[in-house]
């Protein structure tokens, strides 16, 4: 890929140092999403990155449905899905034997698949292309060499090919990766369960007729005692992850004379392939105690790192950005108190813990830490060949699912009874709306502002109700109304001038346990803030102020 | 309330015990260990109830660390 355009910073061209509202450090998937999301919310920022290229090699490759839905909101979802590889079939091997196959059979009625495989550099490229359509000031080849926090903001020292300059900003978003230089400069630590392992990661290009499946080997003959994962990505590039163990020498393992025989042993001596990229990946499970430190906030790997099993690194980091951007935008626009930002910790720290828990369980299965653990692991694998139940115990990584903000201070507890999986704090499940040429998707309609989803079912249209719904958009903090009705019931509403979508397959009603009159208040990050069986403006205003961090202040007043 | 049944439920305890030992006959220690693990997983799935299984884990571990 050609170098991204470096430009001499205005601060180095005699322009008086300006103060910025937000500086985002790190143009990986997390920093790019954060900058794009802020731009969508009307907040311009400076994005700085020490490099001038997208990532080298595939790195993060598995992007889960929730991430694709966030990318849709940011305008990059379709490109990612078009380029990515969708797979549903998987195979699990023990030594030389195929133990079993599985089909993920994803639930239908969602715009996006359960996940796609896509090289990280493509995702970054698509996000950068979106960013070029925004006023975000992207500065490549710019390295943060110093950070100072003070009461009203942050001073950042930036080193460039043309010299060093200072930036002042209100907020600094550190999206600078697992080794986060900013974390180190501020003397902060990431702690936690120390689990260490190394993986040899290879991108291999081959035209071979390998099916589009995920193959996972425990203890294969071509790499005894370890695990191996084979995955297809875009452009006939296959990703192979060889577990090496902690004692392996990373420099030695990267040498072609060591890598090539491993791959040949795996693919067969006669399979032609070319090695695109090889790297040794080292990780440990860790997280910072808090992700917000004054006006410096940590997002993604800088805040928390997990093992690669379950694809929880980039996916959870992008969800950090999704959680944080709208809050910071509201605070900077004076529409919410600064204390709203505290909910970032309240929501994303438990999310990180859930990810660490899941990936640690996978790691413990793949790399047993004790003799007993290994015996049970082998027993589960052996049983899995002929007993369905044991396949549920085999853990080679659990699919990354979004975290439900169960005890979020921003959620309003249910007063009315609801059944089903949805609850305050849940990420919104998608549902198809309309049909034929008018087919739309719920999540696309939610957008990225507060949204009030009213389900009219088969109710007769009601001009009074419609006026009240439309009034939501005129509140001090506007709530965009979204009117849904049962299949075949839209025409009379439209006759009243309403914009309405039909719940054509009844999946919204099913997934949200919606009955005629049900109202959901949805946050800008498409999580449920509150819900009721009837529209009641007072309750809605109350929930809205809670969802924007204003509740505590009102109670004190 | 305890859900783990610890009063005698086996129709013929001696027969079961004999069958259990018999199942291990001729196996190496490593194979025996695997048999036990597989048996535990099969029975755990058959029981299914998480509370019962937790209580069984506690009961099975009880007193082990004070043994020499």
Angle at the Cα of A90 from the Cα atoms of A87 and A92, rounded to 5 degrees: 160
Residues forming a β-bridge with A167: A156
B15 is written with which tokens?
A: 């027969």
Q: Quick one: A185 and A201 in the same domain?
A: no
Q: Are residues A58 and A122 in the same domain?
A: yes
A73 lies in the same domain as A147? yes
* A335 φ, ψ (degrees, to nearest 5): -95, -5
Domain of A130 in residue numbering reads as 10-84+117-191+287-365
Strand A440-441 and strand A432-433: the pairing is antiparallel
Note the pLDDT of residue A430.
97
The pLDDT of residue A555 is 44
d(CA A426, CA A530): 10
What are A480's strand-pairing partners?
A451
| A376 shares contact with chain B (CB less than 8 Å) | yes
Residues A246 and A356 in one domain: no
Using alpha carbons, list the distances in angstroms from residue A373 to A97, A221, A361, A380, A383. Answer: 21, 21, 12, 11, 15
pLDDT in tens, A196-232: 778 899 999 998 777 888 999 999 999 998 999 999 9
Q: Tell me which residue of A196, A236, A234, A303 sits closest to A62, measured CA to CA.
A: A234
Q: How many CB atoms lie within 10 A of CB A104?
A: 14
A177 plus A212 within the same structural domain: no
**Is the domain of A218 the same as that of A294?**
no
Q: Which residues, listed in sequence order, are joined to residue A117 by a DSSP beta bridge?
A: A62, A85
Complex confidence, ipTM: 0.96
Closest-CA residue of chain B to A382: B38
Cβ–Cβ under 8 Å, residues A268 and A141: no
Over residues A383-408, mean pLDDT? 92
What does the block give as tokens for A316? 């959870």
B57 touches chain A (CB under 8 A): no
Cβ pair A469, A483 in contact under 8 A: yes
pTM for the model stands at 0.94
CB contact under 8 A, B34 and A383: no
Alpha carbon distances (Å) from A545 to A327, A340, A481, A552: 13, 10, 17, 9
**Would you tell me the crossing angle of helices A29-40 and A313-332 to the nearest 10 degrees?**
30
Per-residue pLDDT tens digits for A541-554: 999 999 999 975 44
Distance in angstroms (rounded) separating the CA atoms of residues A193 and A360: 9
For residue A427, the 8-state DSSP code is: B
- A37 with A178, same domain: the answer is yes
Q: What is the dihedral of CA A148, A149, A151, A154, to 10 degrees?
A: 80
Whether chain A has a CB inside 8 Å of the CB on B47: the answer is no
pLDDT computed for residue A193 by the predictor: 67
Asked if B33 and A375 come within 8 Å (Cβ–Cβ), the reply is yes
A268 and A214 within one domain = yes
- Look at residue A309 in the predicted model and tell me its pLDDT: 77
| Distance in angstroms (rounded) separating the CA atoms of residues A144 and A494 | 55
Which contiguous run of DSSP H or E holds residue A230? Answer: strand A227-232
Alpha-carbon distance A104 to A87, whole Å?
9
Question: Could you read off the pLDDT of A283-293 as tens digits, one per residue?
Answer: 778 899 999 99
Q: Kindly state the average pLDDT of the residues A248-259.
A: 89
Is residue A273 assigned to a domain?
Answer: yes
Domain count across chain B: 1
Give the structural domain span for B35. Answer: 27-60
What is the mean predicted confidence (pLDDT) over A163-188?
96
pLDDT at position A552: 55
Angle, CA of A314, A319 and A322, to the nearest 5°: 130
Which residues from A are below 8 Å from B45, CB to CB?
A: 387, 389-390
Q: Give percent of chain A with pLDDT exceeding 90.
A: 77
Look at residue A420 and tell me if it is in a domain. no
Which chain A residues are Cβ-neighbours of B34 within 8 angstroms? 375, 378-379, 382
pLDDT on residue A57: 87
Q: Return the pLDDT at A436.
A: 87
Give the pLDDT confidence score for residue A290 in this predicted structure: 96
Interval A80-100: pLDDT, tens: 999 999 988 899 999 999 999
Together in a domain, A296 and A270: no
The per-residue pLDDT for range A397-411, each reduced to its tens digit, is 887 889 999 999 999
For A393, name the nearest residue in chain B, comparing CA atoms only. B41
Q: Shortest CB distance from A376 goes to which of B37, B42, B45?
A: B37
Tell me the pLDDT band of A1, cut-offs 50, 70 and 90: low
Residues A361 and A486 in one domain: no
DSSP code for A219: S
Contact B27/A at CB under 8 A: no
Cα dihedral across residues A217, A223, A227, A228: positive or negative: negative
CB contacts, 8 Å: B50 with chain A: none
């Amino acid at each position: 890929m050609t170098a991204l355009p470096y430009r001499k910073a205005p601060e180095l061209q005699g322009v008086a140092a300006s103060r910025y509202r937000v500086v985002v450090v790190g143009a990986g998937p997390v920093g790019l999403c954060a900058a794009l999301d802020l731009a969508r919310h009307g907040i311009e920022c400076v994005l700085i990155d020490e490099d001038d290229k997208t990532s080298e090699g595939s790195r993060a490759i598995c992007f889960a449905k929730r991430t694709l839905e966030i990318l849709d909101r940011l305008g990059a979802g379709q490109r990612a899905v078009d380029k990515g590889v969708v797979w549903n079939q998987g195979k699990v091997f023990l030594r030389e034997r195929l133990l079993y196959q599985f089909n993920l059979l994803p639930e239908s009625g969602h715009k996006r698949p359960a996940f796609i495989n896509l090289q990280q550099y493509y995702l970054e490229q698509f996000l950068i292309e979106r960013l070029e359509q925004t006023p975000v000031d992207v500065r490549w080849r710019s390295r943060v060499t110093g950070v100072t926090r003070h009461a009203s903001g942050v001073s950042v020292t930036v080193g460039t090919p043309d010299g060093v300059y200072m930036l002042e900003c209100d907020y600094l978003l550190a999206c600078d990766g697992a080794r986060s230089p900013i974390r180190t400069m501020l003397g902060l630590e990431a702690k936690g369960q120390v689990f260490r392992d190394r993986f040899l990661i290879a991108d291999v290009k081959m035209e071979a007729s390998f099916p589009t499946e995920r193959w996972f080997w425990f203890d294969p003959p071509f790499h005894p005692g370890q695990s191996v994962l084979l995955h297809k990505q875009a452009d006939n590039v296959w990703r192979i992850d060889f577990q090496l163990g902690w004692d392996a020498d990373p420099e030695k393992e990267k040498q072609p004379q060591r890598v090539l025989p491993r791959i040949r042993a795996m693919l067969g001596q006669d399979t032609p392939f070319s090695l695109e990229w090889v790297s040794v990946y080292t990780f440990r499970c860790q997280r910072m105690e808090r992700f917000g430190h004054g006006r410096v906030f940590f997002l993604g790997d800088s805040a928390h790192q997990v093992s690669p099993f379950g694809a929880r690194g980039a996916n959870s980091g992008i969800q950090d950005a999704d959680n944080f951007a709208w809050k910071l935008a509201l605070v900077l626009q004076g529409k919410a108190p600064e204390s709203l930002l505290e909910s970032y910790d309240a929501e994303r720290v438990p999310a990180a813990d859930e990810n660490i828990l899941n990936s640690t369980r996978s790691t413990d299965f793949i790399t047993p830490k004790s003799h007993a653990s290994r015996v049970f692991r082998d027993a589960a694998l052996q049983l899995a060949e002929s007993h369905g139940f044991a396949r549920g115990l085999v853990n080679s990584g659990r699919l990354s699912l979004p975290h439900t903000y169960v005890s979020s201070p921003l959620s309003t507890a249910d007063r009315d009874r609801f059944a089903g999986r949805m609850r305050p704090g849940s990420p919104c499940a998608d549902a198809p709306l309309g049909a034929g040429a008018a087919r739309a998707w719920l999540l696309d309609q939610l957008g990225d502002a507060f949204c009030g989803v009213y389900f009219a079912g088969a109710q007769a249209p009601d001009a009074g109700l419609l006026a009240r719904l439309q009034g939501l958009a005129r509140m001090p903090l506007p709530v965009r109304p979204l009117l849904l009705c049962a299949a075949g019931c839209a025409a009379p509403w439209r006759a009243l001038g309403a914009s309405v979508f039909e719940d054509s397959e009844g999946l919204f009603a099913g997934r949200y346990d919606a009955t005629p009159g049900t109202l959901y208040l949805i946050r800008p990050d498409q999580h449920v803030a509150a819900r009721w069986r009837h529209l009641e403006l007072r309750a809605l205003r109350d929930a809205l102020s809670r969802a924007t961090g204003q509740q505590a202040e009102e109670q004190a007043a | 309330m305890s859900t783990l049944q610890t009063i005698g439920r086996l129709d013929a305890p001696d027969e079961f015990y004999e069958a259990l030992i018999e199942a291990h006959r001729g196996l190496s220690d490593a194979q025996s260990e695997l048999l036990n693990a597989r048996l535990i997983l099969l029975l755990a799935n058959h029981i299914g109830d998480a509370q019962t299984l937790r209580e069984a884990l506690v009961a099975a571990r009880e007193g082990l660390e004070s043994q020499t």
